[in-house]
Each structure stands twice: as C-alpha cells, then as structure tokens.
Structure 1
Amino acid sequence: MLALLGEARELSNPELYRLHGLRLDGKERRYLNDLGLVESRKVGRSFVHELTDRGWRWCADELTAGRPPRAGSLGNALYAVLAGLSRHLERAERGLADLFHPEEAGTLDDRIRAAYDELAKEPGDWISLTALRRDLNGASRTKVDEALRRLNQDPKVNLAPDDDQRSLTQADRDAALRIGGENNHLLSIGPA
C-alpha cells in the first residue's frame, strides 16, 4: 500500500517489482481488493494496481498508527519517519495528496509558468521562490534551479534579490537561487 502511495499512480506488477522489489498477487491482491483499498485490473499478462480513495485514507491513518508488534529495526525506523511525516503535514496544513501525486504533464518550465500564474495577482508581479517551490510539489531542487536559469534567459522573466534582507525567513534563504554572485528570492514573469 505504501509503495502504491509513493508512486501515486497505477502500477503493474512488473513495474512494482522493478521499483520496489514486491508484487501484489494472489491472496494479498484479492484481500486488498475485497477491502476496497486497492483497485486491480488485468492488462495483458499482468495486473495493474492503484490505491482507491479508501486506500489513501488507510495510508493517512497509517502515518499515526504507531509501529506494529515485531516490526524489527527497519520497521521501527519506517514508522518513526511516518510519524514525522504526519507531524510535518499537519503543521503545513497539507494532506498526502499534496505530497504524493503523479508526475504532471508538461515540462518543468511550463509548470513553473503555471505556478507563477496561480501565485501572481497579475503578470509582472513579484512572487517568492519559497512559494513557487512549494507549489511545484516536490520537484527536484536541481531541476527547478536549472529551469529557472533557462527561463531567466527570456527578457520577460526576472529573478531578483529581496531588497528587505532582514525580513527573509530561513525558508526564503533556503529557496534562493544564486546567479551572478547574488541570492535571488523573487520571480517576475511579464505578460506574454
């Protein structure tokens, strides 16, 4: 269930095995299907599986369930991480779907432009890179930095430091992109 959660999409048994070293077959598959936690269907010679809404709720509950008996050292460590994840999501007022979601269509450049459009009141407004990175829902820091550098070549795209350095939070400092010896905290994209 947690492997399906982590991928947040339909997975075939061969793909599930290749990515996570496990298969969902026979009795286990039927059990999860009967509980309504996983939906499975036959495609070609193998099954594909996806979490149902009920399965997502089970995973959310599992974050705070506490470690099961005889979990072993790896199980204990996993449940410690799950509990920490639960605390983070609660503080951020987010749910599992905000963290685990299928890869979105479109290039990262397109996703950055779309996130900017959602965050800015109008074209040309300045938005924080902190908010932008949060909206990109876990896109790799390196890839976002590369995409921002690419976009910065467009004359309508501007990156700038925040003039009020004292007001910056640690999150703002962490989200900054260093270009030309300056830490840039803000993004503006002019009208098309």
Structure 2
Amino acid sequence: MPDRKLGVKERAVMFALMAEARKISNPELSRLHGFVLDGEERRVLNDKGLVDSKRVGRPYVHDLTDKGWRWCADELLADRPAGADSLGKGFYAVLAGLGRYLDRAELGLADLFHPRELDTLEDRIRATYDKLATDPGDYVSLTDLRRDLNGATRVEVDEALLALNRDPRVDIAPNEDQESLTRQDRNAALRIGRQDNHLLSIGSA
C-alpha cells in the first residue's frame, strides 16, 4: 500500500475510534457518528496497520492498533491537511490545543480518552443491537436480543424497549411471517397495544 495521506473519511474514522477508545462495530459507529468503515477506506486503514477490523457475528468490528494510536498522537501536533474546509481547520486547531495540553501535562491519549460506560439498560440494548445487526436499520429478533441481555428481568427489558420506542429511529415491529415464529419467538414478543412484536430496528443518527 503506497504511503499516501489519509482522506477525510479515513481521518474521521481514526478520530472517532480514538474518542471511543474501544472496539466498535459498524452499526454502532453509524449510530453514534453517522458513518461506517467499509470498502476501500477499511482496506486502506487495515493495510496501513492503523485499524484492526474483524467480523464479529455479521458486522465488522474495528479497533485502533498501537500504530493507529501513534498516528492519532502525531496528528495532534501536525499541520492541518491541505484543502481542509473551515470546519476542518477549526477541528485541527482544537487538536493542536489538546496536543499542547497533553505535552505540558506529560500525559498521553490514554489519559484523556476512555470507553464510555453503559449506564442504563437502554444503553445495553443499543449495544446489543449493534452486535446483532449488520447495518443500521436491520431488524433483529427480540429472541436473540433478550438472550444476550444477561441479568436483566423480562419486565425491565420490556420497559426499556418501550422507552426506546419513543425514539423516531427505533422501530419495534411484528414478524409478518407468523408461520416461521418459534415458541421462543412468541415468548420473547413485546406486546404493544393489541399487537405482539418480535423485531427491533435502530436506525443511524
């Protein structure tokens, strides 16, 4: 892979992974930041050794490598990219300020960026959905979702799903192919009004 400068999308992914400071799947990357890492951009970052991408279930999950963290640290004090728009110029000014602070305080990026805590059951449901879905907006079964939410009671999960359903990006729907439903699917259904619902979809930001 020729040693070319990273493009805007590739840089955006690098900084998003830096800010998250953890492994993150494409559906979650889309939900939180509005883009995914796939295609040529994924191959470039993988080939350069900056990002490690693996399939976990159906979606890709991405993580900064040690080399990727070094790239981010170097970028804090780098000149802004040629052709950057006004937002990009302002962003690199902020990065430079962070770089100067870390240098003065003798700190590293690991002292500044930490994985976010999953504070609520709704957060856990979103994270579990991201693991099960290949792309934002895919439908996943409530059977699979409930199975992965260890430690939460049926009532707690039902209440959290109903709360999530207020988000316009969330859709809880019945499975139209009723004959394909197993006993587990019927038991996992969420009753809303007079309808049993078996599927969850969460769209991107």
TM-score interval for Structure 1 and Structure 2 normalised by the shorter chain: 0.5 to 0.7
Q: Is 1:71 aligned with 2:91?
A: no
Structure 1 equivalent of residue 30 of structure 2: 17
Q: Secondary structure at the match of 1:44?
A: coil
CA positional deviation for 1:105: 9.4
Partners in 2 of 1:39 and 1:4 — Cα distance?
A: 11
1:90-110 superposed Cα distances (whole Å, 9 cap, x missing partner): 11110001001224799xxxx
For residues 61 and 86 of structure 2, what CA distance do their matches in structure 1 show? Answer: 31
Structure 1 residues 105-116: aligned runs within 5 Å: none
Q: C-alpha separation between the residues in 1 aligned to 2:118 and 2:86?
A: 38
Q: 2:43 aligns with which of 30, 35, 51?
A: 30
Q: Structure 1: any 5+ residue segments left out of the alignment? A: 107-192
Are residues 47 and 105 of structure 1, via their aligned partners in 2, closer, same or farther at CA, if it must alter by over 3 Å?
A: closer
- Separation (CA, whole Å) in 1 of partners of 2:44 and 2:59: 17
Aligned residue for 2:56? 43
Q: Deviations over 1:135-186 (max 9, x none)?
A: xxxxxxxxxxxxxxxxxxxxxxxxxxxxxxxxxxxxxxxxxxxxxxxxxxxx
What SS is found at the alignment partner of 1:32? Answer: helix
In 1, distance between residues paired with 2:41 and 2:77? 23
Q: Secondary structure at the match of 2:72?
A: helix
Question: Which residues of 2 match residues 1-192 of structure 1 at below 5 A?
Answer: 1-103=14-116
Distance 1:73 1:103 in 2: 29
| Match in the other structure for 1:170 | none
The amino acid of 2:53's aligned partner reads S
Alignment-mate amino acid for residue 51 of structure 2: V
The structure-2 alpha-carbon separation of the partners of 1:22 and 1:105, relative to structure 1 and needing over 3 Å to count, comes to closer
Q: 1:105 to 1:75 in 2, by over 3 A?
A: closer
Q: Which residue number in structure 1 is paired with residue 171 of structure 2?
A: none
- TM-score if structure 1 supplies the norm length? 0.53
Deviation at 1:46, TM superposition (A): 0.9
Q: Quote the Cα distance in structure 2 between the aligned partners of 1:35 and 1:76.
A: 25
Tell me whether 93-102 or 1-10 shows the greater mean CA deviation: 93-102
Give 5+ residue unaligned stretches, structure 2: 1-13, 120-205
